[in-house]
Amino acid sequence: MDVSHLLEELNEAQREAVTVDQGHVLVLAGAGSGKTRVLVHRLAWLIQVKHLSPLSVLAVTFTNKAAGEMRERTQALLRVSTRPLWIGTFHSIAHRLLRIHWREAGLQEHFQIIDSDDQLRLVRRIIREEGLDENQFPPSQIQWYINARKDEGQRPSSIEHMDHPLTATWVHVYGRYHAYCERAGLVDFAELLIRAHELWLNEPAVLAHYRKRLTHLLVDEFQDTNTIQYAMIRLLAGDSGEVFVVGDDDQSIYGWRGARVENVQFFVRDFPQVRTVRLEQNYRSTGTILSAANALIAHNEGRMGKRLWTAAGEGQPIRVYAAFNEHEEARFVIERIEHWLAEGRRAEEAAIVYRTTAQSRLFEEQLLRASIPYRVYGGLRFFERAEVKDALAYLRLLQNPNDDAAMERVINTPNRAIGQKTVAMLRAQARESGLPLWQAAGESIRQELLPGRARNAVAGFMELILAMRERMGDWTLGNQMQGVIEQSELARHYEKESREKMEARVENLQELVNAAESFILPAEDEEAGLSPLQSFLSHAALEAGETQGADWDDCVQLMTLHSAKGLEFPLVFMAGMEDGLFPHQRSVQESAGRLEEERRLCYVGMTRAMEQLYLSYAEVRRQYGSESYSRPSRFLDEMPTELLQEIRPRMATHRPYPGARPTAADPVDLPFRLGQAVRHRQFGEGMVVNFEGSGEHARVQVNFHQAGSKWLVLAYANLERA
DNA sequence: TCCATTGACGTTTTT
DNA sequence: CGTCAATGGA
């Protein structure tokens, strides 16, 4: 069989990785080195050359997006259906296992996945019920603790150091929370993994079955695996499975949520005769960008070692811009983007990346003012919106009335006169009798434990749910969704909000109905015995959907450094390059390891840039209401100066007080006076109102009649006297 | 039950 | 400074 198409597009290292004949493989894939390509070609190689059944391959990723991309590209390469291939996230794979083996895993048949928001509500409820002080035991902190323990594979009973009073309380809440979930048939994200791991651990027959079937494992983004995920890989591989992992220790940026870079080193230690292949040729960035990134990351210790290179040219220097403050920084960035656009480049080719989400606001304001379309990554996703979750909670309740999280959510949404007091009584009843909320409510009514009005209200709610279930049991998913929204009168709940908000919510609910109508039960869910409703609910939790509706056509991209991982842009701005902000103060304080992770974050950011990279910082930044002066990021010092070009030299001394700008009094050799009328190619006519800097760095502030006030670098702006 | 004021807090995020 | 959640008055 001719397999040249599998190899001809690959470089030597990529080819080596793809064609390793047997045994375990570790691919250290640098940024932009064709990691996904190797993974996909390896998959195709196993099937077409090694004649492996598609059924015996398991490919694992971290995000649904990555899984989808891998499937798509494999499909394009193999030109056969990829249906039988098991490609998915750790969580989706664990989910599938648990659906098939729910009994062996000790789960309820119709268990429901809860997202972190549901989880937090449950934890908060338990903390209150236990009579704990929420200030002393913040729910989010305990939620974090529970997930961290689960990610380490620990159960309340297996946690030592109970002698510490704080820890003891945390473990206690973990135990209570777990009992709640068991009773209500709820499974959180971390539980999916630990439960699947326990399933394999405790049921040798099940493990043996999957070991026999899944003989080849492929793992993407291996440096992001946590303890339990690595344990799952080891367990499934056993002595005979072959494991092919791809990762980059220099791009490990999720240590703070449990990812263990050490797994990369453990892999070489734990698996026999691992073949290590380095992908160091970069197909993305210029030589300058790579040299600076290499120099930066060299400051980290204990690396596996890797040096990116490119066959492309050196490209332009990296521009460093020292802004006076964060407003001026944003103005500078937007001005450079305008310049980029004026050159005929596209907005979507430009990305502004920053360390903290709060930094996006200033850039948004400036982009808005400049009428440049933009898109901010992150934020609420479709299935996380309140109205969508409300509607889904009704469906969850139809499917499983013992779902306490769902019941809490909708018992008084929309308002049906079931207030805090009534709900508290029901909770107390549930707690006393050890029953789910739904059953406790039934008991309370039967035993007449509630005052008359509350009793009627609760009974009315229960009847509503029962009636919906009765009526809609055999309806299609779309009709069920529509029915639930109508009969629950959910829209009523949002009527009091502003018209704009309400319209958006109604639109989202309609979109939810559309999603339900067009939902097709995936074959693997059908095999696992899921109803369309169960499957839909699981998908809603497991893949919360796009951040924003449809991608706008041609937008400047705004995102945190974390969400930039895996992406690439011709023009990249890294903003807020200040010590304290980036590296973040907390990371600096916490440990040397955390600082190294920040450095990797910087490395990730830099290697997103294909053609041009700008690094900017503000000398003064207003933060938490007060102004703070900060040094430029230490990471700037770690890049070779000859690769950097300061666009405006840093001020030798700080200005006497923040915000003071040079005025016409400054000895500046400008062709314009204050009040001078000027003309700009793009912005039209305006008047000079301020100056700063000198020589090629001189800037003027112009009040344009149409475009408003703008700071322009004289050297670029091409201003004419009007 | 609803809105308004007050107070605490202030990395990073996917599943 | 801004946001979010909790509290309290009408």
Pick the range with the lowest mean pLDDT from A211-225, A521-535, A551-565, A657-671: A657-671
- Reply yes or no on whether the pLDDT at A495 is more than 60: yes
Q: Is the CB of A560 under 7 A from strand B?
A: yes
Q: Which pLDDT score is estimated for A662? A: 41
Is A260 near strand B, with its CB below 7 A from some atom of it?
no
CB within 8 Å of A195: residues ≥ 6 apart: A94, A98, A105, A107, A187
Report yes or no on A112 lying in a domain. Answer: no
Closest CA relative to residue A249, chosen from A29, A562, A42: A29
Q: Are residues A69 and A200 in the same domain?
A: yes
What phi, psi does A667 have (nearest 5°)? -75, 85
Please check whether residue A717 lies inside any domain of the structure: yes
CATH label of the domain that carries residue A697: 2.40.10
Q: Residue holding tokens 């230690």?
A: A269
Instruction: Please check whether residues A347 and A490 belong to one and the same domain.
Output: no
Same domain membership, residue A260 and residue A144: no
Task: Give the residue numbers of A marked as catalytic.
Answer: 35-36, 220-221, 251, 608
- Does residue A198 sit in the same domain as residue A176? no
Q: From residue A334, give the alpha-carbon distance in Å to each of A552, A573, A711.
A: 19, 10, 10
Same-domain status, A409 and A466: yes
Digit-coded pLDDT (tens) for A130-162: 888 888 889 999 999 999 999 999 999 988 866
Shared-domain flag, residues A617 and A684: no
Return the number of other C-beta atoms located less than 10 Å from residue A242's C-beta.
Answer: 18
- Taking the CA of residue A334 and the C1' sugar atom of nucleotide C3, their distance in angstroms comes to 26
Confirm whether A107 is domain-assigned: no
Number of CB atoms found within 10 A of residue A478's CB = 18
Q: Tell me what pLDDT residue A69 has.
A: 94
User: Which range has the worst mean pLDDT, A75-79, A395-399, A511-515, A660-664?
Assistant: A660-664
Residues A660 and A639 in one domain: no
Same-domain check for residues A466 and A521: yes
> Is the CB of residue A559 less than 8 Å from the CB of residue A370?
no
- Model confidence at A129, pLDDT cuts 50, 70, 90, reads confident
Strand B–CB A415 distance below 7 A: yes
Measured CA A549 to C1' C1 distance, in angstroms:
30
Predicted pLDDT of residue A658: 37
Q: What is the pLDDT of residues A451-480, one digit of tens each?
A: 888 888 899 999 999 999 999 888 999 999
Q: Which nucleotides of C are covered by protein (CB under 7 A)?
A: 1-3, 6
A189 touches strand B (CB under 7 A): yes
CB atoms inside a 10 Å sphere around CB A581: 22
In a domain, A400, yes or no: yes
pLDDT the model gives residue A442:
93
A626, closest nucleotide (Cα–C1') = C1
Sole residue written with tokens 């206690």: A172
Residues 283-342 of A with CB under 7 A from strand B: none
**A149 and A251 inside one domain:** no
A622 CB less than 7 Å from any atom of strand B: no
Q: Rg for chain A (alpha carbons), in Å?
A: 29
Q: Which of A600, A621, A648 is the last residue of a domain?
A: A648
How much is the pLDDT for A291? 97
pLDDT value at residue A451: 83
Which of A29-38, A453-462, A698-707 is most confident?
A29-38
What's the number of domains chain A is made of?
5
**What whole-number distance in Å separates Cα of residue A61 and Cα of residue A435?**
38
- In whole numbers, what is the pLDDT of chain A averaged over residues? 89
Domain residues for A484? 384-532
CB proximity A622–strand C (7 Å threshold):
yes
More confident position, A81 or A536: A536
A65 beta carbon to strand B: under 7 Å: yes
Torsion of CA A390, A392, A397, A402, to 10 degrees: -90
Mean pLDDT of A41-65: 95
pLDDT band at residue A173, thresholds of 50, 70 and 90? very high
For residue A141, the domain's CATH number is 1.10.10.160
Per the listing, tokens 């009798």 go with: A433
Strand B and A456 CB separated by under 7 Å:
no
| Distance in angstroms: CA A625, C1' C2 | 9
Q: Residue A582 carries which side chain, given as an amino acid letter?
A: F
Examine the fold and report which residue of A161, A184, A207 is the final residue of a domain before the chain moves on: A184
- Our measurement of CA A200 to C1' B13, in angstroms, reads 28
A666 falls in which pLDDT band (50, 70, 90)?
very low
DSSP state letters, A697-716: G-EEEEEETTTEEEEEEHHH
Same domain, A78 and A170: no
How far is A485 from A481, CA to CA, in rounded Å?
Answer: 6
Contacts of residue A410, Cβ cutoff 8 Å, sequence gap at least 6: A390, A393, A394, A397, A488
The answer for residues whose C-beta is within 8 angstroms of residue A153's C-beta and 6 or more apart is A194, A197, A227, A228, A231
Examine residue A542 and state whether it is found in any structural domain, yes or no: no
- Whether A109 maps to a domain, the answer reads no
Last residue of a domain, one of A532, A563, A593: A532
Which residues from 350-379 of A have any strand B atom under 7 Å from their CB?
355-358, 377-378
Question: Does any domain span residue A545?
Answer: no
Instruction: Give the pLDDT band (50/70/90) at residue A621.
Output: very high
What integer pLDDT is reported at residue A518 of this predicted model?
Answer: 92
Bridge pairing between strands A708-713 and A720-721:
unpaired
Say yes or no to pLDDT of A650 above 50: no
What are the CA-CA distances from residue A124 to residues A35, A132, A140, A402 (Å)?
A: 42, 10, 8, 19
CATH for A47: 3.40.50.300
Share in percent of chain A as helix, strand, coil (round to 5) = 50, 15, 35
Q: What percent of chain A has pLDDT over 70?
A: 92
Cα A618 to Cα A621: distance, rounded to the nearest angstrom: 6
Q: Which of residues 71-130 of A touch strand C (CB under 7 A)?
A: 124
Which nucleotides of strand B lie within 7 A of protein CB? 1-3, 9-15
d(CA A358, CA A361): 6
- Asked if the model's pLDDT at residue A415 lies above 60, the reply is yes
A392 and A490 within one domain = yes
pLDDT in tens, A306-321: 999 999 999 999 999 9
* Alpha carbons A385 and A411: distance in angstroms, whole number: 18
What is the average pLDDT across A254-267? 95
What residue is closest to B10 (Cα–C1')? Answer: A624
Instruction: For residue A625, say whether its CB is under 7 Å from any atom of strand C.
Output: yes
Residue A160 lies in a domain: yes
Report the distance from CA of residue A474 to the C1' of nucleotide C9 in Å, as an integer: 49
Q: Which of residues 117-176 of A touch strand B (CB under 7 A)?
A: 135
Cβ of A624 near strand C (distance < 7 A): yes
Same domain for A409 and A273, yes or no, is no
